[in-house]
Amino acid sequence: MSTPHNSAEKGEFAKTVLMPGDPLRAKFVAEIFLSDARLVNNVRGIGGYTGTYKGCPVSVMASGMGMPSMGIYSYELFSFYDVDNIIRIGSAGSIREDVRVRDLVLGIGACTNSNYASQYGLHGTFAPTASWPLLSAAVSAADRLGVRYHVGSLLSSDTFYNDDAEEANEAWRRMGVMAIEMESAALYMNAARTGKNALAVCTVSDHLITGEATTAEERQTTFTAMMKVALETALAVSGGGAS
């Protein structure tokens, strides 16, 4: 079986997939954290790998940037490859003073300025949220690992360069949004529509108030706390439990 964007055979993806935006971050996770990792997809350079973490089958594959790209890859994994859980491991920009660079944000909800939900024909506003089993397991993992984290709302934005960024960011901040990224709302909506589970675990890569920022290389290879929390979450929901 294959899709226009995925050459893997059915069964080659594990039930839980970690999904960074960056294909190089996916490769890093596979090489550093997974045992016996093998490449199962490389269409358009979006490498998908499956291996084991502490004996638990886990896959990792990039989503690319933005909700259209996340929408395609997560939908195909949920709908055509029998994936049950997708954990986004991405970067985000903080818009709160107390949410620091390299902190984790576990996205309980994903606000958005996107029109992605219009496809569902809903007579109102849909609120994309994480799946509780994944969120609960991630909080437990972060506590065990001693990782500094926040649980709250993300903003999934359709624009990176925004004409009214300063005013818009302040408006979202007043509503309790912690950080801005570009994929989680589409992931959460796809999970809701397909009856599957999703969670975004994001590392704050830059601070939109203080101006502090990490480099592209740091985002690729040093956000290991986020990766470990996601892997331990995958282990927990597989029935492997904590170790």
* pLDDT computed for residue 3 by the predictor: 81
CATH 3.30.70.1380 fits 16-237, yes or no: no
Concatenating the DSSP letter of every residue in 116-165 gives GGGGG--SS----B--HHHHHHHHHHHHHHT--EEEEEEEE-S-SS-TTH
Could you confirm whether 206 is annotated as catalytic? yes
Q: What is the pTM of this model?
A: 0.95
Would you kindly state where each structural domain of the chain is located, as residue ranges?
16-237
The answer on pLDDT for 58 being more than 90 is: yes
Name the DSSP class of 101: T
pLDDT digit string, tens, across residues 89-118 = 999 999 999 999 999 999 999 999 999 999
**From 84, 163, 164, 206, active-site residue:** 206
- Which 3 state secondary structure label does DSSP give 174? helix
Token pair 């903080």 in the structure block, residue: 94
pLDDT digit string, tens, across residues 125-171 = 999 999 999 999 999 999 999 999 999 999 999 998 988 888 999 99
- Pick from 207, 214, 202: nearest CA to 95: 207
> CA 196, 56, 69, 131: dihedral to nearest 10 degrees?
30
What does the alpha-carbon distance between residue 49 and residue 214 come to, in Å, rounded to a whole number?
26
Q: Which residues contact 234 (CB under 8 A, 6 or more apart)?
A: 16, 18, 53, 56, 58, 85, 87
pLDDT digit string, tens, across residues 18-45 = 999 999 999 999 999 999 999 999 878 7
Please name the helix (run of DSSP H) or strand (run of DSSP E) that holds residue 178, with its range, or none.
Answer: strand 177-181
> CA 123, 129, 133, 137: dihedral to nearest 10 degrees?
180
The CA distances from residue 85 to 93, 122, 141, in Å, are: 25, 25, 16
